[in-house]
Amino acid sequence: MMSAIARLEQYTMKRPDEVLRVLASWDDETDEIIIFKGFSSSLMRPTASDPDVPIVPESARFEQIDRLHSPYLPDQPRYIEQGLTWETMQPHLQEVGL
């Protein structure tokens, strides 16, 4: 079964005009992640150059998912939808067969 982060990466491959900004938390850690065209990058810590190294652990919870138009401009984000939860993101994933 595909991990949650892998599903979001696949989503952005099927929707290359979108960028996902994800706030994730696990244990006592939090991270803000950008996902674009199948790749994830942390905005708060170094990202491994090996794409097979998970950016977040399987236990991570997605606190918030924002859908934005690409390209992602941190100073001028263009939102499609803000504040999605993992549950409210499901219909979008299902639309693209994930």
The DSSP code sequence of the chain is: ---HHHHHHHHHHH-TTEEEEEEEEETTEEEEEEEETTEEEESSS---SSTTS-SS-TT-EEEEEEEEESSP-TTS--EEEEEE-HHHHHHHHHHTT-
How many domains would you assign to the chain? Answer: 1
pLDDT in tens, 70-87: 999 989 999 999 999 999
**25 assigned to some structural domain:** yes
Mean pLDDT, residues 24-31 taken together: 94
Rounded to an integer, what distance in angstroms lies between the CA atom of residue 26 and that of residue 16? 28
Range of the domain at 67: 4-75
Q: Is the pLDDT of residue 51 over 90?
A: no
Cβ proximity of 69 and 76 under 8 Å:
no
Q: Is the pLDDT of residue 37 over 90?
A: yes
Percent of the chain residues past pLDDT 70, beyond the cut: 100
**58 assigned to some structural domain:** yes
